[in-house]
Structure 1
Amino acid sequence: MEIKEATANFDDSKKIGQGGCGTVYKGFLRHTTVAVKRLNREGTTGDKEFNDEVETLCKMRHPNLVTLIGVCREANVLVFEFLSNGSLEDCLQHDHQREALSWRMRVRIAAEICTGLIFLHSNRPKGIAHGDLKPDNVLLDASFGCKLADFGISRPLNVTNTTITPYHRTNLLKGTMGYMDPAYIASGELTAQYDVYSFGVVLMRLITNKSPLGLPHAVEAALRTNKLPDIVDTSAGEWPSEPTKELARLALRCCRYERKERPDLENEVWDVIQAMLNYPEDKCKPPTFFICPMTQEIMRDPCIAADGFTYEREAIKDWLAMGNKMSPMAYLSLAHHELTPNNALRFAIQEWQKRQQQ
């Protein structure tokens, strides 16, 4: 009854996502905004997926994994923390007129995905393979912090007397085309290296924002002909040339057919991503997201308006005081005139300005 009340009896207006195994609704439960995932498969298969996801999530807590709040078996429902910026796929597709993710923000998201996977793979007593890593299953909170979600086909990895690499064998292949490890498709063996392959494709998506199908071949060809700048996503700003090439090469290594040739997440992958995170800013040019879209000046007091965009407080207040009811960026009606301080961005701007003075 609580779940039905929280979602207005699973009303379509509350729907915020839909996938192969369930539908997600935004709800308000016990004074908290939550995401309610209703699994749509009945019978033995549905029960197994439900139990597997509960089993995986109820034992783990990590900043880069979505938090399971509760379970309602009668309604076949899982209740998760609500992440206001939706999925990484939403952001890459610029849904709801949102601003494009900067290249530095994309690299930070890649770092947090990597951290979440390292935690899963090093779980004790058995490592866990996510099994369906893709931008749809990477959720972003209000500060664009990244959390892995959808553990319906995740599996613990077993070691036998005849194997060295922990794995889970299955005859029922599951996953998403474009992100599935070809070695898994050929053998039916799910290993941690499956996630490494998927991570490589996600890295390429972050760099290029192109379809995952055939993307490794496109990136390889671009690197070979020195035309990577032609396929990078320019909406993310001006990517630094050499670090971006190195990141693309790393993504290709993650997607090698032979599992043993793929890089180690904790050492090789993390080192490359961390080096790019620490790449120095251009001292003469501020990041584009520091600039108010209205004044075209670096913001001193950035605030988030009802349209989801960040503006200089005085600029958006003047806009509203003039009687404007439409968003200056999205050209849609503003639901309200409340402004939320964007403290994370303000601190980032102040830190950048200090570096300019050094």
Structure 2
Amino acid sequence: MTDALQSVLLDPNAEPIELSLLLLKDITNDFSDDQRIDIGGFAAVYKGRLRNGAVAVKKLSQTLSIHEKKFQQEVASLMRMKHTNIVRFLGYCSDTQEKLSDYSNNNAMLNERERLLCFEFLPRGSLDKYITDESCGLDWHERYDIILGICSGLHYLHTKRSIAYMDLKPENILLDHNMAPKIADFGTLIDQDKSFFTKNFTGISGYMAPEYNNGGPISKRADIFSFGVIILELMTGSRPNYPLSEESAALFANEVAGKWRDRLSNAAYSQQVRMCALIAIKCVCSDKYRRPTTGCIIKILNEVQDSNFLWYWVKTMTPDVAIGIVAAVLILASVVAIILVYQQHRMSSWPWVILFAIGAVPDAVLILLNPSSSCYG
């Protein structure tokens, strides 16, 4: 059975499998404290050691209160979650054994239930351990990739799986070897609410959307608020007071970008920092209907990333590369012009075509062969 779990772990396309309680006890050293990673009100998480790699085993508590049908629904939901920025689900265990109880001197057979979930193990732990201000810790590129990765995972949950996560916080975002973020901790807390799933929420107040604190309905917009708080923490190292007006928001974004300027490799990334700050402020808007969607956020982040890359590429371009590009453009323009003139005037304009080719194409070739002869040298 260990080999089967090992195969699922090593094959990213493998489907989750049912696991035996005996196997999970074996790889966690009978759920020893030495291999316990985390513990909460609903479950304890243990590191399971395999021959090649490791897994995370989540042992659910209060199993008597978990209806079997609900557990199976959760497993089915986890099996459908497949995304780079979602912690990978590997398998599950649903074990029930009858044991004799002498409670009140009344010998009776009682069911002892164990419900466990198995996930990929992420060695770098949770995001909260890496939150610092701009003066130290992760560089901007790492923080930007984490922001984009979290949003991509959230976008998948909202649009492909129709899930409102409702407990997004740094402790529930794990990091792999390459610091890629993965949303975790779905537990047995997923309920179905009409058109989407929600979590039986017991979150931290600093990440809770104000409408939820006031008894409002659960919605995906609450996740956007939590995401905005995480962006602000990643950029500043803390949860600052949120600017209320557009003017104060712009001043705040400029202030954050200014603090980052000393650590940025080139000035073009200041605009990226500023845009992330503005996105975060929009996300934590008290009016949930004014918060952006995950799709809108990803579009903006990709546009800023592409524009920064283009600017960086132009600034770092060597003279030889620039000359080659100019020459290639001249040749292409010459060919296009020849085709257009020929199509318009046919054979009667061949003398002009020949003269154009004689004048333009050799100049471009000369630039390629002898860059020093060009005014760009």
| Secondary structure of 1:34's aligned partner | strand
CA distance in 1, matches of 2:69, 2:51: 28
Partner of 2:107: none
Shift of 1:29: 4.2
How far 1:197 sits from its partner (Å)? 0.8
Distance in 2, matches of 1:118 and 1:252, equals 19
Distance in 1, matches of 2:260 and 2:27, equals 42
The offset of 1:207, in angstroms, is 0.6
Matched, 1:104 2:141: yes
Q: Report the secondary structure of 2:206's partner residue.
A: coil
Kindly indicate whether the alpha-carbon contact (under 8 Å) linking 1:204 and 1:219 is maintained by their aligned counterparts in 2. no
Cα distance change on mapping 1:173 and 1:17 into 2, 3 Å:
closer
**CA deviation profile, 1:295-350 (whole Å, cap 9, x unmatched):** xxxxxxxxxxxxxxxxxxxxxxxxxxxxxxxxxxxxxxxxxxxxxxxxxxxxxxxx
1:76 aligned counterpart, secondary structure: strand
Distance (whole Å) between structure 2 residues aligned to residue 54 and residue 47 of structure 1: 11
Instruction: Tell me the equivalent position of 1:137.
Output: 172
Shift of 1:219: 12
**Partner AA of 2:292 in structure 1:** P
C-alpha displacement at 1:31, in angstroms? 5.0
Q: Distance in 1 between matches of 2:273 and 2:70?
A: 38
The answer on 1:90 being equivalent to 2:129 is yes
State the match for 1:227 in structure 2: 255
Matches within 5 A, 1:182-221: 182-210=210-238, 212=239, 215-216=241-242
Q: What SS does the aligned partner of 2:123 have?
A: coil
Give the superposition deviation at 1:227.
3.3
Query: Are 1:41 and 2:62 counterparts?
Result: yes
Residue in 1 that maps onto 2:299: 271
Gaps of 5+ in 1: 160-165, 287-358
* Aligned partners of 1:110 and 1:273 also within 8 Å: no
2:275 partner amino acid: E
Q: CA deviation at 1:216?
A: 3.0
| Residues 213-260 of structure 1: per-residue CA shift (max 9 Å, x gap) | x55359996854653357769889888333222211110111112111
2:287 matched to 1:252? no
The TM-score with structure 1 as length reference comes to 0.64
CA distance in 1, matches of 2:293, 2:58: 33
Matched, 1:158 2:158: no
Q: Which residue of the partner structure matches residue 113 of structure 1? A: 150
Per-residue deviation, 1:101:
2.0
**1:243 and 2:243 matched:** no
Structure 2 vs 1, CA of residues 100 and 156 (structure 1 numbering), >3 Å: closer, same or farther? farther
Does the C-alpha gap of structure 1 residues 44 and 14 become closer, same or farther in structure 2, counting only changes over 3 Å? same
Cα offset for 1:36? 0.9
User: Over aligned residues, Cα RMSD in angstroms?
Assistant: 3.6
Q: Which amino acid aligns with 1:70?
A: G
Aligned 1:277-356 pairs, distance under 5 A: 277-278=305-306, 279-280=308-309
Contact between 2:264 and 2:270, CA under 8 Å: does it hold in 1?
no
Q: Distance in 1 between matches of 2:70 and 2:230?
A: 24
* Alignment CA distance shift 1:272-1:2 (3 Å): same
Return closer, same or farther for 1:252/1:51 CA change in 2, 3 Å cut-off.
Answer: farther
In structure 2, relative to structure 1, the CA distance for the partners of 1:112 and 1:229 (3 Å cut) is closer
Provide the rounded CA distance (Å) in 1 between the counterparts of 2:216 and 2:27. 40
* Alpha carbons of structure 1 residues 42 and 238: separation in structure 2 relative to 1, 3 Å: farther
Unpaired stretches in structure 2, ≥5 consecutive residues: 1-21, 96-113, 317-377
AA at the equivalent of 2:231: L
- SS of structure 2 residue aligned to 1:89: helix
Task: Give the secondary structure class of the aligned counterpart of 2:30.
Answer: coil
Q: Which residue of 9, 28, 39 corresponds with 2:49?
A: 28
Identity of aligned residues (%): 32
Which residue pairs with 1:295 in the alignment?
Answer: none
- Kindly indicate whether residue 79 of structure 2 is the aligned counterpart of residue 58 of structure 1: yes
Q: Based on CA coordinates, which of the two structures has the bigger radius of gyration?
A: 2
Aligned length: 269
8 Å Cα contact 1:129/1:157 also seen in 2:
no
Aligned to 1:128: 163
The residue type paired with residue 210 of structure 2 is P
Q: Which residue of 2 aligns with 1:73?
A: 94
Using structure 2 for the length normalisation, give the TM-score.
Answer: 0.61
Q: In 1, distance between residues paired with 2:174 and 2:137?
A: 16
Q: Secondary structure at the match of 1:54?
A: helix
Structure with higher helix content: 2
* CA distance in structure 1 between the partners assigned to 2:250 and 2:57 by the alignment: 43
